Amino acid sequence: MEVTTSPDGRAPQTDAVTDPLLVLDGLVSTLQSVESAIAGLQALREYTLALASRVADVLADEDIHDDGVRPGLNAAARWDAAELAQRAVAAEIATATRTNDRTIQRQLGQAVELLDRFPLTFGALAHGRISLAHARVIQDAGSALEDPAALSSYEAVVVACAERQAPGRVRRLAVREAEKAQPEPLNIRHERAREERRVWITPLPDGMAELAAVLPAAVAYGIHDRLTQMAKTHADLAREQATAASGRPTGAAGSLDQRSTDQRTADQRSTDQPTTDQLTIDQLRADLLADLLLRGAPAGHDTPDSLLAAITARVDVTVPVLTLIGQEGAATSNGSAGRAFGTDTSGNTARAAAPGTATSQVPAELDGRHPIDPATASILAGQAAAWTRVLTDPISGAVLAVDRYRPGEDLKRLLTARDTRCRFPGCGIKARDLDLDHTHDAALGGPTETGNLAGLCRRHHMLKHHSRWKLRQTGAGVLEWTSPTGRKHTDHPPIPATDTAPGAPGQGLTGRQRWSPGHDSGPPPF
C-alpha cells in the first residue's frame, strides 16, 4: 500500500485508491459502461433479426414466382409463402444458436416492430440510454396504438421516463399513457381481448410444473382473493384446533390477548412459515386450487347431461419396471436393501416403498419429458386402465419394440414411444400432438415403416414439406436435417426413463420390462 506525505508535513495519508468508496465508485462506473455496451449489442441483435426477417420476405417472393403464382392474385398463397419463409429463416437461426425456432420467429417480429414503429426507443437502446427490458416494456404497452401521431407522442413521454427509471416503474407509466392514446373505448377492447383467454403449463425442476392462465383481470383477482380467503380460514381453523389440543385457553371474545409480544408474533408468523402440521398460505392456495379444479364440477359451463363434469384428467407416465415392481432386497443407491413399488394384475398397489430408502432407478417421466417422483408414479400406475410395454436397448436406451395387452395400432404406439416429442431440433411439442410423417413421401414410394416415419409437430411437418429444409433418416431413428444454407443438424430419439446401468445382471434390458432377443418375456408383471 502506497503512502503519501502531506505538504504541511503532517502524518502520511493512505493513497486515495485504497478508499473503498472510491473503489466502489469506479466499479459502478465500469458497470454503467458495460450495461451501455450490452444495450448497444442488443440493439445490433435487434437490427440483425429485422434484416433476417426482410430476407425471409425476399425468399417468399422468390418462392411465389418460382411456383408461378402472381403476387396480388392469390392472397392466401402469398400469406402461406411468407409465413413458411419466416419459419424457415427462424429455424435456420434457431438451430445455429441452439434455441427454439418459435422463440426466434417471435423475436423476428419484435425486432421488425421495434425498428419500424418505435424509432425513438430503438435509438435510445442503440446509444445505451435504456436497456432491452425498457424497450420491451415500451413495445408491449404501445403495440396496440395504430395512429402514428398518437404512437409518437406516447413514445416521447415513455422513453424520457425510461432513461431515468427502472423497467418496472416505466411499465406503469407506459400502460397509463397507452390507455390515454387509445382511440377505442376500454369495454370494446376488453371484449376483444377476452377472446385470447387461455391456460397453459410450464415444466419446472424437481417434478413440479407451473399452471398459468390468461383471464379477465376481475376474474383473475377474484380467483386469487377467494383462494386466499379459503386458505386463511383453513389456517385459522387448524390453528384453533392445535390450540385446543394443547390445552391452552383461546380466550373469550373481546378479551385482551395476554400472550407476550413474542408469542403473538410467532403465531402470526405461523401463517406464513410451514410447521409439521400446518401449511403456509401459499401452499394452501395451491392445494385448494388443485382440489377445485380436479374435483369441482363446471357449474357455469357444463352440458345439461353433465358430460363435462364426467371428464377426468389424463396423463401419460413412463415408469421403469424396476421402479414399480423391484425385488425384495434389491440394492438401493446407498447399498441398503429396500422394497420397491409394484402393482398386482388388478391395478392395486401391491407393495410400498420402504421409508428412507432411495432406489437406484431413474425417475418416472410424465409425458416423456417431465420427471416425477416414484411415489406419484406408483399411485398413477395402480390406477391405469391399460399398459404399454416398451422394450429398450440395455446400453443406449433406444426403443426396440412395443407391445400391449390390448389390441391397437402397433406401429403408431412404437413411434409414439420412440418420439416422445417433435423430432425437429429444439422443439419440445409432446407426442400426443404430433403428426406421423413419412420422411420419404409415401406418394413417391416411401414405405410406411419405422425407418421412414418420424413424429413432427404440425409446424415442422409443414416446414419440412413446403420450405427449403430437407430431412433424411440415417438409421436407428436418427434424423438429419439440412437447413436452406446447407447446415446439418442431427436429432436423436429421446431416451425414455430406463435403467441402462452396464453390468447389472438382469437389469437394464428395458425401461419397463426385462427382455432379450428370442426370449419370450411372458405376461406383463403388472
- CB of 315 closer than 8 Å to CB of 366: yes
| Residue 480 pLDDT greater than 90, yes or no | yes
Instruction: Taking residues 471-476, report their average pLDDT.
Output: 90
Strands 208-214 and 399-404: unpaired
Instruction: Taking residues 264-293, report their average pLDDT.
Output: 67
Beta carbons within 10 angstroms of residue 368's beta carbon: 21
Q: What is the mean pLDDT of the chain?
A: 74
Query: What CA–CA distances, in Å, run from 425 to 91, 98, 201, 450?
Result: 9, 8, 21, 19
Q: Which of 58, 90, 52, 89 minimizes the C-alpha distance to 71?
A: 58
H-state helical runs in 395-469? 410-418, 458-466
- CB of 332 closer than 8 Å to CB of 357: yes
Q: Kindly report which listed range (289-293, 452-456, 477-481, 513-517) carries the lowest average pLDDT score.
A: 513-517
Higher pLDDT, 447 or 109: 109
| Residue 157 pLDDT greater than 60, yes or no | yes
Helix (H, G, I), strand (E, B) or coil at 55: helix
What is the reported pLDDT for 511? 37
| Residue 268 pLDDT greater than 60, yes or no | no
- The end-to-end CA distance of the chain, in Å, is 75
| Residue 66 pLDDT greater than 70, yes or no | no
Confidence of residue 144 (pLDDT cuts 50, 70, 90): confident
| Residue 364 pLDDT greater than 80, yes or no | no
Query: Which pLDDT tens digit goes with each residue over 160-195?
Result: 999 999 998 899 889 888 888 888 887 787 888 888
| Residue 260 pLDDT greater than 60, yes or no | no
| Residue 143 pLDDT greater than 80, yes or no | yes
What is the reported pLDDT for 363? 58
Higher pLDDT, 428 or 481: 481
Instruction: Taking residues 88-104, report their average pLDDT.
Output: 94
- Where is 101: in which H helix or E strand? helix 101-117
Domain boundaries, the chain: 20-192, 193-233+278-296, 421-491
What is the reported pLDDT for 423? 92
| Residue 350 pLDDT greater than 50, yes or no | no
Instruction: Taking residues 61-66, report their average pLDDT.
Output: 71
Distance CA 170, CA 138 (A): 8
Confidence of residue 139 (pLDDT cuts 50, 70, 90): very high
Distance CA 420, CA 369 (A): 8
- CB of 165 closer than 8 Å to CB of 201: no
What is the reported pLDDT for 158? 95
Q: Which of 390, 357, 387, 398 minimizes the C-alpha distance to 375?
A: 357
What is the reported pLDDT for 183? 82
What is the reported pLDDT for 275? 40
What is the reported pLDDT for 296? 79
